[in-house]
Structure 1
Amino acid sequence: MYRALTRDIEVVVEPFYLEEQSDPEDDRYVWGYRIVISNNSGVAVRLVNRYWNITDQNGVVDEVTGPGVVGEQPRLSPGDTYEYSSGCPLDTPSGLMFGHYQMETDEGELFDVDIPAFSLDSPGLLRVLN
C-alpha cells in the first residue's frame, strides 16, 4: 500500500493487476486500485476535483482531470472515511500514477491533498516504483 498525508487527510492506495481484463498479446494491461481517504483533521471537507498523472514505462504521460471521483463529490466530516475503486489501462506492462484531490472546506477554502505515487507492475515483473 502507498500512503500520503496532507493537512491531516490521509490517502491510501492499493493497486492490483486485473489479469482477466488484460491482454498482453494486444498490448493491453489493466490495473484496478482501491483508495481510502480518511479525514483526520478538525474540519469538514468536500472532494471537488481530481488530477492524475499516469505515466507508462515508455514515459508517455496522460493527465486526467475532472470533478470528484467515480461520479461523486464526497463530503467528509472530521473522522469520516471514504473508499472507492477505479481502474487504469496501459499499453505497456508497467507504469506509475500520482496526483492530487482538490478539497474545499465548508468556509470555501480550496487546497490540494496529495495522492501518493504508486507503481503499476504486471505479475512477474520486478516490483519497483518507476
Structure 2
Amino acid sequence: MSQQYSNDQDNFLNDLISNEILKNCSKENMALQQCVSINQLYKTGNNGKCVDEHIKYNDCVKNIKSIQGIMNNCKNLLQNYQSCIMTKQQEYFNETDEKEKKQKQLDASKVCFKELNELRECSIKQLK
C-alpha cells in the first residue's frame, strides 16, 4: 500500500469524524472556537479561560454514537497501534548511531502500518 493511499485514508477518516462532530456538536464547537479565537486575538493566552467550553465540547463528542463505537469497538486496535509506536519510539531514542537512528525513524510508520490500517478499518465501520 502506498504512502499516498495511507494519507488519503487518513484524510478520509479525519473528514468522516470531523463531519460527525460538526453534525452533532456544532453549537459546542462554535463556542469553543470563538473562545479560543477571542483569547488569541487579544493575546490573553488561554489560561483556563475556555474550560467550560472544552468540557461541554468534550461531553458532546463523547455522546456521539459513532464516536462511542470507535472508542468501544476499536479500543484494542488503538492500544495495539499505540504500543507499536511506543516500542518504535523507544528503539529510536535508545539508538546512538545517527544513521541507524534515522533508519529507525523511517521504519516506524512502515512497521506499525498493519496496526494503523486495522484501526482505520475498524473506525470507518463505526462511522458508516
- Normalised to the residue count of structure 2, the TM-score between the two structures is 0.22
TM-score normalized by the length of structure 1:
0.22
Q: Which has the higher helix share?
A: 2
